[in-house]
Amino acid sequence: MQSLKSFDPDIYNAIRDETLRQTETLEMIASENFVSLAVLEALGSVMTNKYAEGYPRHRYYGGCEHVDIAEGKARFRSKKLFGAKYSNVQTHSGSQANMAAYLTLAKPGDTIMGMHLNHGGHLTHGSGVNFSGRLFNVVAYTISPETGRIDYDEMLRLAREHKPKLIVTGASAYPRIIEFDKVKEIADEVGAYHIADIAHIAGLVATGLHPDPLPYSDIVTSTTHKTLRGPRGGLILTNVEGGEFMLANMPKPKTLPQAIDAWVFPGCQGGPLMHVIAAKAVAFKEALRPEFKEYQQQIVKNAAVLAETLLSRDFSLVTGGTDNHLILMDLAPRGLTGRDAEKALEMAGITTNKNMVPNDPQKPFITSGIRIGTPALTTRGMKEEEMRQIGNMIAYILEDLEDEERQKKTRDDVRELCKRFVIYDIPEAIEED
Ligand SMILES: *Cc1c(COP(=O)(O)O)cnc(C)c1O
């Protein structure tokens, strides 16, 4: 980073300090991960300079022969990874992937069903502050207050009553398997489309550790930066090849893949981020290797051991455990809030986020829960033994939120632990004059 260092010390330092923070703390936000140096190199490349509106070999600009290779590889590899017939790798984020997918299958004003934000759904699944809640009439399904699991009977009842145009599945804070086959039955019964948003669990799906939504949905959307461990971005897949979709200014109907492409560009976006698409291609290549399956298996094992450790210290977990990469701690029985717990853990060098739990007595900005994930620490090479150690650290901190000595002592232990699991080299500090 020589040029940045001399030209812009402020930003150089911010990047350096962020590298240090990522290295010296325990990153347990369930949606975060650490990309490889190969992915970082592609991201920081000259492909950011290129305008490439359109799709490979059908661009609105000249000079696209090399970026076409990057996008072609990204498409091919993502199809192979998920066993999909069609892939669009251009969406800038998971939210944009959802926007393009919804608009492909529904019109503004139509009714859509998604999981309630406070029950683990995502903003784009129908929240009133998001495009999804503003453009569509939203009916939210929820989790059962008794079990903490998705209430599929309630989903069916709501679907029969409201006849949605589409049902969105997927979640941002749900520790259990999602039964896509059941949702498909519900969608078929009421004549709705099914979009499966696998933003969080994409890595598990790609390696067969979570049921595959492709056979049971019309469109699958995802991010590329969570368990999939690629650059920040979105992905759209489908195995439906036919269909008849009318698009603006087009006299003849299009197939579903053609309609998705058109809704991504020019429907929702302009020029694609070619450096990000190149980095996606690199990440998909990594994900196709056998080591990636071992990595995903370790994520799940690590989450299970962490859950076990916290249960052994008498903490409650929503649904009593986990099937995937994340855990939702319910702190209400301990009389704690998610906000205070998040803060105390952060002081101890453990980064998590507050999260609503079923029947949460607190407001969304306070909450009674903490969401904890293992993807990032597993990338660092941490295994069961470290998870036991970290589970006990978390319990120790939460048993007395006021005790700053505990936090300081744990902060030192965290730093020592982190030293054994190197992730990135720290750029050198700028010398003071
Ligand atoms: C993270 C997430 C998204 C959106 O991803 P962004 O890239 O942040 O827009 C969409 N859906 C679900 C379920 C998510 O967890």
Q: pLDDT of 200-223, one tens digit each?
A: 999 999 999 999 999 999 999 999
Contact 226, 398 (CB under 8 A): no
What's the whole-number mean pLDDT along residues 313-342?
97
CA distance 270 to 39: 23
The closest residue, in CA terms, to atom 1 on ligand 1 is 199
* Ligand 1, CB within 6 Å, residue ranges: 31, 93-95, 98, 122, 124, 170-172, 197, 199-200, 223
H or E element, residue 309? helix 290-312
The closest residue, in CA terms, to atom 10 on ligand 1 is 94
Kindly list the structural domains of the chain, giving each domain's residue range(s) and its CATH number in brackets, ordered by start.
41-287 (3.40.640.10), 291-432 (3.90.1150.10)
Name 398's Cβ contacts closer than 8 Å, sequence gap at least 6: 315, 331, 334, 336, 341, 344, 345
Q: For all residues of the chain together, what is the average pLDDT?
A: 96
Which amino acids are annotated catalytic?
51, 53, 197, 223, 226, 232
The closest residue, in CA terms, to atom 2 on ligand 1 is 199
| Other beta carbons within 10 Å of 195 | 30
Spell 292-314 as b/e; 16+ CB within 10 A means b. bbebbebbbebbbbbbbbbeeee
Pocket test for ligand 1, best of 96, 204, 223 (most atoms within 8 A of CB): 223
Residue 72 confidence class, pLDDT cut points 50, 70, 90: very high
The closest residue, in CA terms, to atom 15 on ligand 1 is 172
Residue 432 confidence class, pLDDT cut points 50, 70, 90: low
CA distance 424 to 426: 6
What's the whole-number mean pLDDT along residues 220-237?
98
Instruction: Decide: helix, strand or coil at residue 130.
Output: coil
Give residue 98 CA to ligand 1 midpoint distance, Å.
9
Tens digit of pLDDT for each residue in 183-193? 999 999 999 99
Percent of the chain with pLDDT over 70: 100
Give residue 224 CA to ligand 1 midpoint distance, Å.
10
Tens digit of pLDDT for each residue in 348-360? 999 999 999 988 9
Report the atom number in ligand 1 closest to the C-alpha of 234.
7
CA distance 364 to 376: 25
Pocket test for ligand 1, best of 92, 122, 232 (most atoms within 8 A of CB): 122
Tens digit of pLDDT for each residue in 162-173? 999 999 999 999
What's the whole-number mean pLDDT along residues 78-107?
98
pTM, rounded to two decimals? 0.96
CA distance 376 to 365: 25
Percent of the chain with pLDDT over 90: 95
